[in-house]
Amino acid sequence: MHFLSRRFGWHEASFEDYIQAYDRFGGSTLANPRILHFFHTRHRLNETFFIQRSRSGELTGGVCIWDGKYIAGDQKPVKAHQLTRYPLNFDELVLPVSPQTRALLPFRTKFLSGLNHASFMNCSHRLNAGREISIVRPVSQKTRQSRNRELKRFLNSGGEVRCVTDYSHDELIRIYARLYFLRRGKNITAEPIADLLNDIPDLMFGKILTFNDEPCAMQWLTKSEDHQRVYLDYINAGMDLALSSLSVGTLAAWVNIQAAQDYCQITGKQMRFSFGRPTADYKARWCDREPLYRLIA
């Protein structure tokens, strides 16, 4: 595989070289050097970094490889190394590669973002079992008015919208654990979540709904950003089903979409807000489906 990488212009490099590529071209949460460093200091992923340069020597991209052949974050090594214990979205990979490059990438993934597909000649959606990702679309005026009416009714009934930054990490985990159990009847494992937040304290984003001062609904959202985009990933949700008449699940999504749009407007960056794979009908309320690509290697 390394012989092929050299043949196609990809040369083994250092983590510092990869960081240069990321700083120049950006990438999603799983390509972020902070996330990679978190994983590499805790798990034996046999990580290797590669960069590519043009004939003139200009840097055109970088990639991190796990276990010798998989793009970092691909679900094959993620499952093999039990990385799903961490509340991150492993459904889409945006790599730090120039959008102007046209290259062959001799490594494997079935979760390459549509943002990258034009850069690689050996990727295909048609040969990828129809895999797709749910990306939040612009909200229509009609939807905005409807959701704001629901939100006003919730607030007038005793509800409040709080920011995740109002709470400590331990408090956020306890709130999420309680609401997750109320929604699903299952317990979460708190230790890996605490480890992740302690290492990357600004990872969390979003709002929490409270009712009579008690947290009643939240989405677990992560945020990562590069120089051009803000990547937001909806991992899971918890809510008190006893308050379903107040549409707290819908409102949790709505206030977070509003917060994300406001944040991106303030920072002047593009928003890429993922709800993950289109596994539930409610995601169609907020999202458009976009294709994922398989690297053929």
Given its phi and psi angles, is residue 95 left (phi above 0), alpha (psi -120 to 50 degrees) or beta?
beta
| Strands in the chain per DSSP E | 10-13, 48-53, 59-66, 70-71, 109-112, 123-124, 132-136, 159-163, 204-205, 207-211, 214-225, 229-239, 270-274, 287-291, 293-295
Whole-number Å distance between alpha carbons of 141 and 254: 13
- In 195-211, which positions are buried (b, 16+ CB within 10 angstroms) versus exposed (e)? ebbeebeebbbbbbbbb
CA atoms within 13 A on the CB side of 255: 27
What's the CATH number of domain 135-276, 3.40.228.10, 3.40.630.30, 3.20.20.140, 2.30.30.110? 3.40.630.30
pLDDT at 3: 47
State pTM to two decimals: 0.95
Q: Tell me how far apart the 2 most distant CA atoms of the chain are, in Å.
A: 65
Q: Kindly report each contact of residues 263-268 with a partner whose C-beta sits within 8 Å and lies 24 or more positions away, as own/partner.
A: 263/205, 263/230, 264/230, 267/225, 267/230
Residue pair 215/234 in contact (Cβ under 8 Å)? The answer is no
pLDDT at 4: 47
Q: Kindly report each contact of residues 140-143 with a partner whose C-beta sits within 8 Å and lies 24 or more positions away, as own/partner.
A: none
Low-confidence ranges of the chain (pLDDT < 70): 1-8
Residues in the chain: 297
pLDDT at 108: 97
pLDDT at 9: 81
Residues of the chain with CATH 3.40.630.30: 135-276
